[in-house]
Amino acid sequence: SQQGEEDPQALSIQEGENATMNCSYKTSINNLQWYRQNSGRGLVHLILIRSNEREKHSGRLRVTLDTSKKSSSLLITASRAADTASYFCATGSTNAGKSTFGDGTTLTVKP
Amino acid sequence: DAGVTQSPTHLIKTRGQQVTLRCSPKSGHDTVSWYQQALGQGPQFIFQYYEEEERQRGNFPDRFSGHQFPNYSSELNVNALLLGDSALYLCASSTGLAGALQSEQFFGPGTRLTVL
């Protein structure tokens, strides 16, 4: 079963709007990473947030982590058509020994 | 500084054949992980190599095997191909035995395998 599950499965917004994607997981983690994937291509690393961190920023991206709720969110501000992609969260834990991905959120930004 | 590279880009095989995929990690990285990504799904962990040994393995049959060379590059071998093996195969590199856990993973562009 998937450790990380993204929500919603699909999101469609207009250029300039903000996009929020959520990730829930089931067991304790050491870190959580967000990735972007353009259609049929490799994954691009966006942000890594460790279990002792609550929020991280990178450019137009803001990631939060709530370990008590076992959830994370990715906010993309002032979205652009080029942000159209699938977004995945991946959890990493010592117990699992590997990163576990969800099935992603497909974001469409309309120009 | 070259990132993670994979070859070939695309591959078409028939059922029962064998395939070898190759990956060169990002400069300075010593850990390689392989993932299978079916259409519309997230990547599924196959296995991870560090110091030329398989360190972690996901829920994949023995038909999936790998190797890591002294220069940290890696191969993924799949025997007796099935139609269900058609997928994008992704290689990721990181640093250290627990690299996937504590450091960023950098992914290659993937190899698209089609089994007919």
CB contact under 8 A, B110 and A42: yes
Cis-peptide, bond into residue A111, ω within 30° of zero: no
pLDDT tens digits for range B31-42: 999 999 998 899
Q: Report which of residues A39 and B115 the model is more confident about.
A: B115
Q: Count Cα neighbours of B4 within 13 Å in the Cβ-side half-sphere.
A: 30
CB contact under 8 A, A97 and B90: no
| Calculated CA dihedral for residues B12, B32, A36, B43, nearest 10 degrees | 60
Please enumerate in sequence order all residues whose Cβ is within 8 A of that of A68, keeping only pairs 6 or more positions apart, or say none.
none
Where do the structural domains in chain B lie, given as residue ranges?
A: 5-115
pLDDT tens digits for range B71-94: 999 999 999 999 999 999 999 998
pLDDT tens digits for range A36-81: 999 878 899 999 999 999 999 999 999 999 999 999 999 999 999 9
- Chain A to chain B Cβ contacts (< 8 Å): 71
Q: Which residues pair with B51 in a beta bridge?
A: none
Q: What's the rounded Cα separation, in Å, for the pair B61 and B94? A: 24
CB contact, 8 Å: B3 with chain A? no
Q: Which residues of A touch B110 (CB under 8 A)?
A: 40-42
What structural domains does chain A harbor?
5-110 (2.60.40.10)
CB contact under 8 A, A99 and B88: no
Q: Where does the pLDDT of residue A30 fall: very low under 50, low under 70, confident under 90, or very high at 90 and above?
A: confident
- For the structural domain made of B5-115, what CATH number should be given? 2.60.40.10
Q: Is residue A103 a contact partner of residue A9, using CB atoms and an 8 Å limit?
A: yes
Q: Which residues of A touch B98 (CB under 8 A)?
A: 94, 97
pLDDT tens digits for range A80-106: 999 999 999 998 876 555 778 888 999
Q: What's the rounded Cα separation, in Å, for the pair A27 and B67? A: 30
By three-state DSSP, how is residue B94 classified? strand
